[in-house]
């Protein structure tokens, strides 16, 4: 096992009397392309929130990039290179698409109010560089033609791409995607999957939570199955989907 990985050990979470996560354990390479599935209510969303630091688990530890990040805030985890998107895209609706990406750029001296007024030259130079980077990602994501549109006017699929672009501005080691295909038309799903594959080839790791099993299986190299707050199975997508226990979990959930 390399140190550059995401490892989850013994994570538990209860809400009132309900146990949502019951000792989940798994680890995936930080530069891999992994997926996570599970029936509704299996605890995926909660696990996602705990890994990214938006919720605290009751027990268990999260390690990322060779560090124990359990006690770190969501913001600090981002600084270590762990990016995320949201299940329902949370674009900055009144900002233009380009501004959405530019807002994400880390380490801007113009975010300091005094610098914004006292060092206009430096801020302008930084802005130009950030804008160039943002436009490059927009071109990569095929969003260049809507760069000046308010993000609130984008279609559902475009918002998913926009969120991906925003995370990419952070230059993350690994990105957690929360249902990138939900509510997206099949053509755009193919496009999003293509972009993810290309980014993966460039060395960015992915862990993707998704309900669209076929699209996910076609994309990832490794799959985790969560059921009733535990890890039920893991392995190559074809093998996992053929696993009788996994089939039963899904049938049971559907019945």
Partner 1 sequence: MEAYLLAVAVIALIYTLLTLGLNLQYGFTGLINFGVVGFFAIGAYTSGLTVLAGWPLPVGLLLAALAAALASWPVGLLSLRLRIEYFAIVMLGYAETIRLVVTSESWLTGGVRGIAGIPSTSAALGLQADPTLVTFAITLAAVVAVILVTRHLIASPFGRVIRAIRDDEDAVRALGKHPGRFKVTVFVLGNAVAGLAGALYAHYITYISPDQFVSLLTFYIWVAMIMGGAGRIGGAVVGTVVLMVFVEGSRFVRDVMPGVAEVEMSSIRLGVIGLALMLLMRFRPQGILGTKGNP
Query: What is the contact surface with partner 1 in residues (CB under 8 A)?
Result: 52, 54, 74-75, 78-79, 83-86, 90-95, 99-100, 102-104, 106, 108-113, 116-117, 123, 126-127, 150, 152-153, 166-167, 169-170
| Residue among 20 and 105 whose Cβ is closer to partner 1 | 105
Instruction: Mark 212-249 as b/e (b = at least 16 C-beta within 10 Å).
Output: bbebbbebbebbbbbbbbebbbbeebeebbebeebeeb
Contact between residue 235 and residue 50 where contact means Cβ atoms under 8 Å apart: no
CB of 100 to partner 1, least distance (A): 8
| Residue among 48 and 250 whose Cβ is closer to partner 1 | 48
CB of 48 to partner 1, least distance (A): 12
Tokens of 224: 């985790």
> Look-up: residue for tokens 């997926």?
35
CB of 193 to partner 1, least distance (A): 22
Mapped onto helix, strand or coil, the DSSP state of residue 111 is helix
| Residue among 79 and 247 whose Cβ is closer to partner 1 | 79
| Residue among 49 and 213 whose Cβ is closer to partner 1 | 49
CB of 92 to partner 1, least distance (A): 4
CB of 79 to partner 1, least distance (A): 5
CA distances from 93 to 90, 150, 182 (A): 8, 6, 19
Contact between residue 63 and residue 48 where contact means Cβ atoms under 8 Å apart: no
| Residue among 173 and 222 whose Cβ is closer to partner 1 | 173
Length of the chain as a residue count: 255
107 dihedral zone (left: phi>0; alpha: psi -120 to 50; beta): left
């Amino acid at each position: 096992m390399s140190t550059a990985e995401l490892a989850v050990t013994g994570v538990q979470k209860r809400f009132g009397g309900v146990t949502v996560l019951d000792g989940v354990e798994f680890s995936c390479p930080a530069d891999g392309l992994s997926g996570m599935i599970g029936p509704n209510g299996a605890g995926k969303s909660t696990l996602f929130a705990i890994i990214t630091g938006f919720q605290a688990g009751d027990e268990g530890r999260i390690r990322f990039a060779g560090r124990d990040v359990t006690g770190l805030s969501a913001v600090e985890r981002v600084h270590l290179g762990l990016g995320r998107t949201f299940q329902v895209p949370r674009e900055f609706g009144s900002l233009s698409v380009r501004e959405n990406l530019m807002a994400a750029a880390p380490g801007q001296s113009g975010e300091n109010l005094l610098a914004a007024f006292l060092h206009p030259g430096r801020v302008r130079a930084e802005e130009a560089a950030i804008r160039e980077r943002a436009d490059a990602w927009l071109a990569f994501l095929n969003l260049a033609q809507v760069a000046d549109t308010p993000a609130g006017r984008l279609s559902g699929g475009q918002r998913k791409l926009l969120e991906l672009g925003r995370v990419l501005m952070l230059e993350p080691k690994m990105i957690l995607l929360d249902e990138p295909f939900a509510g997206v038309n099949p053509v755009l799903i193919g496009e999003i999957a293509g972009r993810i594959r290309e980014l993966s080839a460039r060395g960015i790791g992915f862990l993707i939570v998704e309900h669209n099993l076929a699209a996910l299986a076609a994309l990832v190299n490794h799959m985790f199955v969560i059921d009733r707050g535990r890890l039920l199975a893991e392995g190559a997508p074809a093998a996992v989907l053929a696993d009788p226990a996994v089939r039963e979990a899904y049938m049971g959930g559907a019945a």
